Every structure is written in structure tokens, then in C-alpha cells.
């Protein structure tokens, strides 16, 4: 059996799970990379470790220093845990609209949590800009210094996935992977895995999965950043081309609505025992669309980003779903 050397070594090397329902539905083999099994509970543990390790290697992060980041929550949880394991402090800036469970978890992990109103990126009060300003202040005043993790535009994020997640997927399927799809927040997961897979198998098809309210589907299809609609999913959707996404080898894009994604989340829980968050539903919905584009007999991989217990007050709350005009499954009532 696999024995890991402490928390940091427990990040990554996650199982690849064949999703039986989506595979039967399409005649393809659809697999989910079980990133919700990372010790901090999400795919973002990998980015957190890669960013912190890179800052240490560059001599930017000194013992006792502070890591500052703006995040939808999961990167903050990963950073706070990595910081605990290595003796750093964390200041986490998050839009107040994110789930209560993620806020509680961040405080539990010891992060200094600063909640800000959810405003667009072009507003100086956006959580990303607030976190940059706090990092600049602390870098000047803290005796041990501070860094801004800058997950959106820090290429250490996608390099972490290029070095670990991508090669793991390739090895787990003995190279027999026809397509990969996932949604993007920073784009680190999609771009890093795309780069790793294309290096090993140039004809692998890479498809960006986009929720409503995100501008990247239109960017890939027409070259223009344009968003329509909304989504209750957290951690995904983007209005700009981040540094992690620039020049990523992406072949195509699909759009997945909440109305398509949520029944998939519920089916995976009821029929397969997988308790997942909303972005995993968007990803599996996209994998089903890619399977239909390619036809039966193909192997398609996506990401199971985080677990559903992080969204009990939202995704799995009938009152919340009704308020958003989304269908409520009978068994949830
Ligand atoms: N799903 C969830 C739940 C997330 O928190 C994130 C990260 N914001 C993503 C997907 C997207 O990952 P990435 O930032 O690598 O694009």
C-alpha cells in the first residue's frame, strides 16, 4: 500500500474513477480524476503547493512569512494547510457570496479571512485586487515579508498540473486518452493538463467547459470575450484570458448550463456514491457532450474538483434551489 510522508506528500496521485452512468449513456469510457480526495478537499491543493514551492525556490518566501491570496475558497484552504505544514501565515480575501462551508473551513484552517463584496474584476474592490494591495502592504511592514500568490496569472499554478495531474492521467490510462475537458477559474488545471497531454499525445482533444455567465466559450468560438446568463457553481467561470490560459493548447469549447449540470451531480450521488460540488457537474456534463461529439468507443477524462459537503447549504438545499429557479429532485425534499 501507498504510504505518504506527511501532508504535503499527500497532495496528488489521486485515483481515476470510471463514471458508470455517463459511460453507459454515451458508449464511451468517461473518467473523473478524483481531486476531491486531495487532503484539503479540492484540486486547488495542487496549485497551492506548486505556488508556495515556487516562491520558496525563488527565495521570495522566507520562514514565518505571509501568503496572501484572493480566492473563491478552495485555493485559500489549500494555501492555509500548506502554510500550516511549512510554518507560514495566510491572509485570504474571498467574495462574500461564496458558501458558508468554505468560509468556516478557512477559519478552521487558521487563515486570516477577509470577506469583500462580489464585484467585477474591473472594479478596484474586486477580491483579486484587494488581495494584491494587502500583499504589498504586508511585504513592506511584516518582519518576515509577504507574497501575493496571484493564482490567476502565476504560471507556477499550471506548471504544477503540467508536472503532476497531466502525467498522472496519461499514466493511469496507459496513454489511451482521446479527450480531456474541464472548466476554468484560473485556467491552471485545464492549461497544465492540456500541455502535459499534448506533449505526450499531440492528437488528444482538449475542450474547455464553460458555465453560463463566463466569457470563455465565446472567446474560444469567436475570439470575443462575451458572457450571458448566470450559474450557481463556484470557483469556475472567467471574464478574461488569464496568463495561465494564454497560449494553452485548447481545441474547442462547450457550454454547460446549471440545469444540465445539477441533475448530473445528483445522479452521481444517488447512483454512484460520489458526493461532488457544482463544478464537477459542469465538467461531467461537458465530458458527456464531448463523448457525443466523438462518438462511442472513446476515452474521455475530466476533473472531479471538490466534494459536495462544501455546498450543503446551496446545491443540496431545496429552498436555495427553488429561490434560483432550479429543479429540486424529489429525494432532496
Ligand atoms: N472547481 C472548483 C470548485 C474550484 O474552486 C476551482 C478553482 N477556482 C476550479 C474548479 C477551477 O480550477 P482552476 O483554477 O485550475 O481553473
133's grid cell = 494591495
* pLDDT at residue 1 greater than cutoff 80: no
56 torsion bin: left (phi>0), alpha (psi -120 to 50), beta (else) = alpha
Q: Indicate the fold that domain 43-148 takes in CATH.
A: Rossmann fold (3.40.50)
What are the residue ranges of CATH 3.40.50.1100 in the chain? 8-37+165-324, 43-148
What ranges in the chain are assigned the alpha helix state H?
Answer: 6-9, 20-26, 44-57, 74-86, 100-108, 127-141, 156-163, 165-172, 188-200, 216-222, 258-272, 278-294, 318-323
Ligand 1 in reach of 210 Cβ (< 6 A): no
- Please check whether residue 135 is in contact with residue 147, taking contact to mean a CB–CB distance below 8 angstroms: yes
Q: Which residues on adjacent β-strands are paired with residue 209?
A: 183, 254
Mean pLDDT of 112-126: 96
| Ligand 1 atom with the shortest distance to the CA of 192 | 15
Closest CA to 182 of 194, 173, 200, 174: 194
* pLDDT at residue 333 greater than cutoff 90: no
Ligand 1 in reach of 189 Cβ (< 6 A): yes
pTM: 0.97
By the 10 Å C-beta count (0-12 exposed, 13-18 middle, 19+ buried), 134 is classed as buried
In which residue are the cell numbers 489521486 written?
14
CA distance 241 to 243: 7
Mean pLDDT of 271-288: 98
Residues 234-263: tens digit of each pLDDT = 999 999 999 999 999 999 999 999 999 999
* Known catalytic residue at 44: yes
Q: Indicate the fold that domain 8-37+165-324 takes in CATH.
A: Rossmann fold (3.40.50)
Residues 140-197: tens digit of each pLDDT = 999 999 999 999 999 999 999 999 999 999 999 999 999 999 999 999 999 999 999 9
CA distances from 16 to 11, 85, 277 (A): 15, 27, 17
Ligand 1 in reach of 40 Cβ (< 6 A): no
Compute the residue count for the chain: 333
Amino acid at each position: 500500500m501507498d504510504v505518504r510522508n506527511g501532508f504535503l506528500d499527500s497532495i496528488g496521485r489521486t485515483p481515476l474513477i470510471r463514471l458508470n452512468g455517463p459511460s453507459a449513456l454515451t458508449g464511451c469510457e468517461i473518467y473523473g480524476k478524483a481531486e476531491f480526495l486531495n487532503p484539503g478537499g479540492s484540486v486547488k491543493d495542487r496549485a497551492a503547493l506548486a505556488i508556495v514551492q515556487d516562491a520558496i525556490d525563488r527565495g521570495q518566501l522566507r520562514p514565518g512569512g505571509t501568503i496572501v491570496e484572493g480566492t473563491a475558497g478552495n485555493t485559500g484552504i489549500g494555501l492555509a494547510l500548506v502554510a500550516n505544514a511549512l510554518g507560514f501565515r495566510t491572509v485570504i480575501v474571498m467574495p462574500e457570496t461564496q458558501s458558508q462551508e468554505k468560509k468556516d473551513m478557512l477559519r478552521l484552517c487558521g487563515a486570516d479571512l477577509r470577506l469583500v463584496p462580489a464585484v467585477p474584476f474591473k472594479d478596484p474592490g474586486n477580491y483579486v485586487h484587494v488581495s494584491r494591495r494587502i500583499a504589498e502592504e504586508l511585504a513592506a511592514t511584516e518582519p518576515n515579508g509577504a507574497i501575493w500568490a496571484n493564482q490567476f496569472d502565476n504560471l507556477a499554478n499550471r506548471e504544477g498540473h503540467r508536472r503532476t495531474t497531466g502525467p498522472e492521467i496519461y499514466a493511469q490510462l496507459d496513454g489511451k486518452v482521446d479527450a480531456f475537458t474541464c472548466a476554468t477559474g484560473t485556467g491552471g488545471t485545464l492549461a497544465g493538463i492540456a500541455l502535459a497531454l499534448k506533449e505526450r499525445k499531440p492528437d488528444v482533444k482538449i475542450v474547455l467547459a464553460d458555465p453560463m455567465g463566463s466569457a470563455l466559450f465565446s472567446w474560444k468560438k469567436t475570439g470575443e470575450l462575451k458572457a450571458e446568463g448566470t450559474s450557481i457553481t463556484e470557483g469556475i467561470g472567467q471574464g478574461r484570458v488569464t496568463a495561465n490560459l494564454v497560449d494553452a493548447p485548447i481545441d474547442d469549447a462547450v457550454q454547460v448550463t446549471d440545469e444540465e449540470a445539477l441533475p448530473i451531480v445528483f445522479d452521481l450521488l444517488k447512483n454512484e456514491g460520489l458526493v461532488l460540488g457544482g463544478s464537477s457537474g459542469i465538467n461531467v456534463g461537458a465530458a458527456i457532450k464531448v463523448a457525443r461529439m466523438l462518438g462511442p468507443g472513446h476515452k474521455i477524462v475530466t476533473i472531479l474538483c471538490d466534494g459536495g459537503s462544501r455546498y450543503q447549504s446551496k446545491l443540496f438545499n431545496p429552498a436555495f434551489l427553488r429561490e434560483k429557479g432550479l429543479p429540486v429532485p424529489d429525494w432532496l425534499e
